[in-house]
Amino acid sequence: MTRTVLIAGLLLTAGAAHAEDLVCQGNIFSTQGEGIIARKHRFEVSGIAGADIGAVLEQCRKIALERQGRAARKNPGGSFRRTSEVELDCTRGSEKTQIRRIIQTER
């Protein structure tokens, strides 16, 4: 019994240490191709955590590159543009923030 309480206590304190992280979910929009054959891809992301906005955006950049590679293999209709749009809803404790940025996603 004491062991269960001790483990539960450790889990609660570990969760409290990360309570100040910024946790986000939203979409990344990337465009493949140019002109009238341009195709817009929407990549959903959730549960992205980081110490600040910069760390979250860096994770989004990595996710976008990975998913662009997957999409390009499925539909080889040209290369992706160098930038992607990011729209995220983030929370830090009880504080809520919306983030809209354009990030560099070139390899």
> For residue 72, how many other CB atoms are within 10 A of its CB?
15
Q: How far apart are CA 61 and CA 67, in angstroms?
A: 10
Q: For each of the chain's 107 residues, which pLDDT tens digit applies?
A: 544 444 444 444 444 445 588 999 999 999 998 888 899 999 999 999 999 999 999 999 999 999 999 999 998 878 999 999 999 999 999 999 999 999 999 86
SS3 84: strand
Q: How many other C-beta atoms can be found within 10 angstroms of the C-beta atom of residue 76?
A: 9
Confidence (pTM): 0.77
* In contact, 24 and 51? CB cutoff 8 Å: no
